[in-house]
Amino acid sequence: MFDIPILRFGQTYESMEKQPVFHFDTGEAVAQLHQATGAMVKLDLKKAQKARDALRAIPISKLIEICKSAATMYLEETLPCGSGSLSPAEFCRLQSATTGLPENMCAANMRKNSFVLSHMDEVLDALTRGLPYEVLEKGYGKESRGVMVSYQATTPVFGMVLPNNSPGVHTLWLPAIPMQIGLCIKPGSQEFWTPYRITEAFFKAGLPREAISIYPGGHDVGGAVMTDCQRAMIFGGQTTVDQHAGNPKISVHGPGFSKIILGDDIVDHWEDYLDVMVDSVFANSGRSCINCSGIWASRHTREIADAIAQRLGPVVPLPPDDPKSSLAAFTTAGAAEAMNTQIDEGCRAEGVTEMTAKYRHGSRLEKRERCDYLRPTVIHCTGPDVPLANTEYMFPFVSVVECPQNKILGQIKQTLVGTALTNDPKFTQQLLDATNIDRLNIGTVKTVQLNWLQPHEGNIVDFLFRNRAFQDVPPAAH
């Protein structure tokens, strides 16, 4: 069993409170996670500047090289993990064991995180819009066009309260390190593996240990990270989103409600886009905020829903080490059952039809001794106002909603990733103007196909730095 201590800006700390972490299917205790306290976090954060100072002693170009080295180590090497060490395959096996995510998806998420690390120079160049590194290092400098700019760090460390649902979310905070901002991480109680592994890869690649803290723990730890870091990101449900909305110190990541919209100009050829729709719903077992949970069109919606249902309805849970395993287990007791009940209730409403039932040959909820599965579910909604028309669940679930094109943008509400399948210039302009869509894809881009050179729910550079005025000579007379 792995014994995983707290990391306090590089120093390991053995807590007196340890939380066992169990295999979702066998019930075997596979790790024990040392538990931090809020007081510990708050005390450490009083010295957070040391993390930034240690990173600022290293040029950004060198930090990028460290990221690239770490990318390879994280993906390919055996690295320390608490009291032991893990090869990549062992890492995937354990990550799967505690999260319920199939091993092949754990490996895919590793590749995703590694890709971002290995392309960090391009990522930074894109997110900073080509800013010379010197500007971030010194705090000011001249752009290539000769204009003086200043970027002031808003925090010495980036706080984060991380989720369990998908290891892919870690891509979001990786650029902080090469921007010389330290990390104060509260990992998920089941998916703590990735932050620890990436950290070990960073250390092995030469990153100063005092740059990163990892505090597993309870709500008081999360609270301390959120209140005492000058900038922090948190993942949670809609309640969390509402709670932190408008707080400039907090970057909140909630349900994505990501969608595919078929324009009137192409919807008669919807079969051409079936793969885009199916993959957007199904990839990563539907666990991500970038998975498509709504498909909106003005006509053919029942046929679209039926076609997706034919593809996804027969999918069954497989053992987590099966390379073809495509469904993740629900490891929190009662969670799958609660969702299943909600969906059943929604399906009893007029205008709502479950399309997958006839292709599934079994019930949606599969209960096991220690975990549950929810099998893919496709719902047809006759309009945007019926229940389940704007819903997201953490499994392959999608509502196909019939709605006139001119009403769609007013009805879809907040949408993290919106893929619009249209060639209509007027509709395209309306989509570009729609402020309720965060990441906009126009064309055959699956909602899960993120380009890491694009910002995600706000630009991390703008979050961690303040672009402010700076002058070292008087302006020209005027």
Minimal distance, residue 253 CB to another protein, in Å: 17
Q: 334 or 475, CB closer to another protein?
A: 334
Which residues lie below 8 Å from residue 219, measured CB to CB, with a gap of 6+? none
Pair 297, 454: CB distance under 8 Å: no
Q: 14 or 472, CB closer to another protein?
A: 14
Pair 418, 258: CB distance under 8 Å: yes
Pair 315, 281: CB distance under 8 Å: no
Q: 303 or 337, CB closer to another protein?
A: 337
Window 19-58: residues binding another protein (CB under 8 A): 35, 37-40, 42-43, 46
329 closest CA partner among 277, 283, 366: 366
Report the 10 Å Cβ neighbour count for 77: 16
- Tell me what percent of the chain is helix, strand and coil, each rounded to the nearest 5: 40, 25, 40
Minimal distance, residue 218 CB to another protein, in Å: 10
Q: Which one of 113-121, 236-244, 331-339, 461-469 is the stretch in contact with another protein (CB under 8 A)? A: 236-244
Q: 35 or 340, CB closer to another protein?
A: 35
Instruction: Give the distance from CA 249 to its chain's centroid.
Output: 19
Pair 446, 283: CB distance under 8 Å: yes
Minimal distance, residue 468 CB to another protein, in Å: 25
Query: Could you give the CA distance from residue 324 to residue 320 in angstroms, rounded to a whole number?
Result: 9
What type of residue is 213? S
Pair 399, 379: CB distance under 8 Å: yes
Minimal distance, residue 290 CB to another protein, in Å: 26
Query: Could you give the CA distance from residue 311 to residue 44 in angstroms, rounded to a whole number?
Result: 51
Q: 221 or 460, CB closer to another protein?
A: 221
Q: 240 or 411, CB closer to another protein?
A: 240
Q: Under DSSP, is residue 274 helix (H, G, I), strand (E, B) or coil?
A: helix
What string marks each residue from 100 to 139 as x (binds another protein by CB under 8 A) or -? ----------------------------------------
Length of the chain, please? Answer: 478
Strands 415-421 and 437-442: parallel
156 lies in the site for another protein, by CB under 8 A: no
Q: 11 or 429, CB closer to another protein?
A: 11
Q: 219 or 426, CB closer to another protein?
A: 219
326 lies in the site for another protein, by CB under 8 A: no
Binder to another protein among 15, 165, 171, 291 (CB under 8 A)? 15
17 lies in the site for another protein, by CB under 8 A: yes
H or E stretch covering 42: helix 38-45
Minimal distance, residue 155 CB to another protein, in Å: 16
Q: 123 or 224, CB closer to another protein?
A: 224
227 lies in the site for another protein, by CB under 8 A: yes
Minimal distance, residue 15 CB to another protein, in Å: 6
Report the 10 Å Cβ neighbour count for 335: 15
Minimal distance, residue 106 CB to another protein, in Å: 29
Which residues lie below 8 Å from residue 346, measured CB to CB, with a gap of 6+? 352, 379, 387, 388, 391
163 lies in the site for another protein, by CB under 8 A: no
Which residues of the chain form contacts with another protein (CB under 8 A)? 15-17, 35, 37-40, 42-43, 46, 223, 226-227, 239, 242-243, 247
